[in-house]
A and B are shown apart, each in its own frame.
Chain A
Amino acid sequence: MASVTQNFDAYVNLDKADFGGLWVAIFKGEVIASGEDAKMVYKEAMKITHNKIVMLSKVPKKDVIEIL
């Protein structure tokens, strides 16, 4: 499952200024789709990759303190 690590590395290095607050789909270390609706982002990613496994995750907003 090498691509999980590759996609995760891309995720932790994403610029919050560009993607903060959005769902992103990452494939082979590249963001291939993003938006506010997780299902739409996933659908677009499936279309682009022809149903390959992608990373789907939300990027925290910049300047927001996370108390969980």
Chain B
Amino acid sequence: MATTYFKYRKHPQPQEDDPYPHAPRIPILLIGNEARIQSTGLLDTGSTVTIIPPDIADILGLETGEKIPIKTINGTIEGQESEIKIEVPLQRNPVRVRVPCQVVDFDEIILGRTVFFNPFEITFYEQQGKVRLKDIRSKLNKMKRL
């Protein structure tokens, strides 16, 4: 099972010149109908859905559905249903997941729990400023067979 650590902070603790260090972002490859883009995604355990900014969705050529309301910490906003393939570059084998997503007027990619979290065991190491992703697909398949 492949395990990969991603450092997500320049400094593990707040510094005088950077009082609010980075959040847990990981490298990802986004695969659309018209393009492939490497980007960063914020692992958000508080988000049910994966969020893709409209500009990124346009570049990738994602097809979008009707507008639906999404409840957020800032109130209710509008999103459009879509689907995207996301590849996470783990050390031995990259893990590719087809994820339902919402195209929302936001300026970064949010990796929410639904479907995206399923193939991984994810551990956050806040003091060290890193996150570990372990591919548990084979473990899940063994459990299914029992």
* Chains A and B belong together in one complex: yes
A42–B23 alpha-carbon span in the complex (Å): 24
Chain B binding surface, main DSSP class: mixed
| Chain B hits for A68, CB < 8 A | 23, 42, 44, 46-47, 73, 110
| Chain A hits for B7, CB < 8 A | 12
The minimal Cβ–Cβ distance linking A26 to chain B, given in whole angstroms, is 8
B59 CB within 8 Å of chain A: yes
Q: A1-B94, A38-B59 are in contact. Are A7 and B18 (CB under 8 A)?
A: no
Q: CB-defined interface of A4-15 with B at 8 Å, one 1/0 digit per residue?
A: 110110011100
- Candidates B20, B38, B46, B56; contact of A66 at CB < 8 Å: B20
A64–B21 alpha-carbon span in the complex (Å): 10
B38–A63 contact, CB under 8 A? no
Q: A1-B89, A39-B59 are in contact. Are A67 and B73 (CB under 8 A)?
A: yes
Chain A binding surface, main DSSP class: mixed
Q: List 22 A-B contacts (CB under 8 A).
A: A1-B29, A3-B38, A4-B28, A4-B29, A4-B38, A5-B89, A7-B38, A8-B26, A8-B27, A8-B38, A16-B18, A42-B37, A53-B29, A55-B27, A55-B39, A55-B40, A56-B37, A56-B39, A62-B18, A64-B20, A68-B42, A68-B73
Binding site for A on B (CB under 8 A): 6-10, 18-20, 22-23, 25-29, 36-40, 42, 44, 46-47, 53, 55-56, 58-59, 73, 87, 89, 94, 107-108, 110
